[in-house]
């Protein structure tokens, strides 16, 4: 399973990259705004800065919602860097634009997906990635993980090549359950990824090892 980080924060991207486990980055207009990146030229430059930091795919979302606008913006984004993936919202024009980009060999990520039907349309339009938002479904008392498993089933039935990019991942259990279900990719905050590190027995065990090492070394120096 690939690990993407869901942020436009360069420091966090660098931190995840330094772990050697990062496969890509996803962003969206809200994440860009959170970092104070505004204006098209600054936003485009920021995508390039992100591409400098990671070796994997970087999703860059279009703002236009009309077909012509989506195509024009998506083409500009795709031309910025070969690893940029054009992110399109799951609306009628988004599906149309996704089919257009697929025919041209431009890679896409269809976002804001909340149902199996939407995921089916994303796959039919040749999306490289589909982004079901599991945390936001959990927020409204709907089982987000169930959606991921349903999409997995449908995609496997027909060998769709579209990769399931589980998004709106908020915590470590989301990541673990996505791995069990067979999500191709997860994207989440650094905190959720780093949360996988934690176990009290690891901390206690290491503390004891270091204590015993220190004892042994004191003993050794006393004997000399
Ligand atoms: O990748 C989608 C993501 O940015 C949404 O996450 O936590 O705002 O639901 P969240």
Query: For the chain, how long is the longest CA-to-CA vector?
Result: 81
Q: What is the mean pLDDT of the chain?
A: 96
Residues 202-219 have pLDDT tens digits of 999 999 999 999 988 875
Whether the Cβ atoms of residue 166 and residue 186 lie closer than 8 Å to each other: yes
**How does residue 199 score in pLDDT terms, banded at 50, 70 and 90?**
very high
136 lines ligand 1 (CB under 6 A): yes
Q: Which residues form the catalytic set?
A: 87
CA of 169 to the centre of ligand 1 (A): 7
| Residue 116, pLDDT above cutoff 90 | yes
Residue 85 burial (CB < 10 Å; 0-12/13-18/19+)? buried
Q: What is the pLDDT of residue 217?
A: 85
DSSP letters, 109-157, are EEEEE-SHHHHHHHHHTT-SEEEEBHHHHHHTTS-HHHHHHHHHHHHHH
Q: Which of 27, 89, 168 to mutate to test the pocket of ligand 1 (most atoms within 8 A of CB)?
A: 168
CA of 219 to the centre of ligand 1 (A): 54
**Sign of the Cα pseudo-torsion (72, 74, 76, 78, in order):** negative
Residue nearest to atom 10 of ligand 1 (CA): 168
8 lines ligand 1 (CB under 6 A): no
| Residue 52, pLDDT above cutoff 90 | yes
| Residue 104, pLDDT above cutoff 60 | yes
């Amino acid at each position: 399973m690939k690990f993407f980080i869901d942020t436009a924060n360069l420091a966090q991207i660098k931190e995840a990259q330094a772990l050697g486990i990062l496969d890509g980055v996803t962003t969206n207009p809200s994440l860009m705004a959170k970092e104070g990146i505004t204006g098209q030229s600054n936003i485009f430059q920021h995508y390039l800065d992100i591409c400098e930091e990671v070796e994997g795919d970087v999703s860059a979302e279009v703002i236009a919602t009309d077909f012509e606008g989506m195509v024009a913006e998506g083409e500009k984004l795709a031309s910025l860097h070969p690893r940029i993936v054009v992110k399109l919202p799951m609306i009628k024009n988004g599906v149309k634009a996704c089919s257009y980009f697929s025919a041209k060999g431009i890679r896409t990520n269809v976002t804001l997906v909340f149902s199996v039907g939407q995921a089916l349309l994303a796959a039919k339009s040749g999306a490289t990635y589909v982004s079901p938002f599991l945390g936001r479904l959990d927020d409204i008392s709907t089982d987000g993980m169930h959606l991921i498993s349903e999409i997995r089933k449908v995609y496997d039935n027909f060998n769709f090549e579209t990769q399931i990019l589980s998004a709106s991942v908020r915590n470590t259990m989301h990541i673990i359950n996505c791995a069990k279900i067979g999500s191709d990719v997860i994207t989440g905050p650094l905190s959720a990824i780093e949360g996988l590190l934690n176990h009290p027995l690891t901390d206690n065990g290491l503390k004891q090892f270091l204590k015993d090492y220190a004892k042994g070394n004191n003993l050794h120096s006393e004997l000399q």
